[in-house]
Chains A and B, each alone.
Chain A
Amino acid sequence: MTAQALIHFPKKAKRGEVIEIRTMISHVMETGFRRTQSGEPIPRNIITTFTCHYDGAEICRAQLFPAMTANPFLIFRTVATETGKLVFKWTGDNGFSAEETAAIEVE
């Protein structure tokens, strides 16, 4: 199952402007604390790490815990410095990995 990621930020920005980057990815974020009706524990399955690189430099890194909602959602900011690309990466339990790339144009 491939996870679907939603990324939203202004595609064009002025140099030095602080832009808002909204990210959300489809994921159950199973806490590992729940049980099935027959009483068996449901193993943990969460996204543990999120990173965002802007032209290769890390601008945001997050460590996630089971207390994050399903389909984890995070908004952060960055200064628009150069025209380039943003790479978003999520990794987690059971070898979960997802990557998205988006371009930004800076005037």
Chain B
Amino acid sequence: MEQAMRPLRGWTRRGVLRAGLAALPAGAALTLIVRPAEATPEEMRDAIKKVVGDATINRGRVKLDIPPLSENGNSVTCAVTVQSPMTAADHVKAIHLFNEKNPQPNVISVTLGPRAGLARIDTRIRLSDTQTVTAIAELSDGSFWSDSANVIVTLGACLEDNPT
């Protein structure tokens, strides 16, 4: 009994505390990995790959208009404009929007055609956290163009009061 009450050899109170503190960042990192309902930049990359395949994504031609700071993640207004003559020979076939931190990486995919006249969509999206939003345009010649923007979200979607 007396033996058990004695501190274990080599284990001082100070030492144990220090070891605990050192283990903290590792523990925090682990919980991040385990957290289920959050997409990661990798998941966004996979979702983009599903649309794009092995084609290269070029920068330019696409403009993603989204406010750099949003107070309410439940409704973030954004617009995607693509430079294109929108003729039968050269037009935008689709515009896709992706995010990296919502539970799912897809936001919306809009299929357009030469009859649109102007390759632009405006919509409102949900963002759960501060993150990067990516717009990808698929052109009739098979090329892909993209633009990304970082949005700081003060109050994320999904944090509102749960319904009873």
B-contacting residues of A (Cβ < 8 Å)? 18, 31, 33-37, 42, 54, 57-70, 72-79, 81
Nearest opposing residue in chain B for A29, CB measure? B126
Residue B85 at the A interface, CB < 8 A? Answer: no
Question: In the complex, A60 Cα to B111 Cα: how many Å?
Answer: 6
From A68, A72, A77, contact of B116 by CB (8 A): A77
- B67 partner residues in chain A, CB cutoff 8 A: none
**1/0 per residue B127-143: CB within 8 Å of A?**
10000000000000000
Within 8 A of A (CB), among B98-119: 99, 102-104, 106-113, 115-118
A67 touches B109 (CB 8 A): no
Main secondary structure of the interface of A (DSSP, over half): strand
- A58 partner residues in chain B, CB cutoff 8 A: 113
From B109, B110, B162, B164, contact of A76 by CB (8 A): B110
A-contacting residues of B (Cβ < 8 Å)? 37, 74-75, 99, 102-104, 106-113, 115-118, 120-127, 158, 162-164
Question: In the complex, A100 Cα to B25 Cα: how many Å?
Answer: 55
B117 touches A68 (CB 8 A): no
- B103 partner residues in chain A, CB cutoff 8 A: 31, 33, 66
B102 touches A62 (CB 8 A): no
Asked whether A59 and B115 contact (CB < 8 A) given A66-B104, A67-B107, A73-B124, the answer is yes
- B125 partner residues in chain A, CB cutoff 8 A: 67-69
Question: In the complex, A67 Cα to B96 Cα: how many Å?
Answer: 13
Q: Chain A nearest CB: distance from B9 CB in Å? A: 45
Q: Chain B nearest CB: distance from A66 CB in Å? A: 6
A65 touches B158 (CB 8 A): no
- A65 partner residues in chain B, CB cutoff 8 A: 104, 106-108
From A35, A57, A68, A75, contact of B126 by CB (8 A): A68
From A34, A36, A64, A77, contact of B164 by CB (8 A): A36
A36 touches B163 (CB 8 A): yes
Question: In the complex, A84 Cα to B8 Cα: how many Å?
Answer: 87
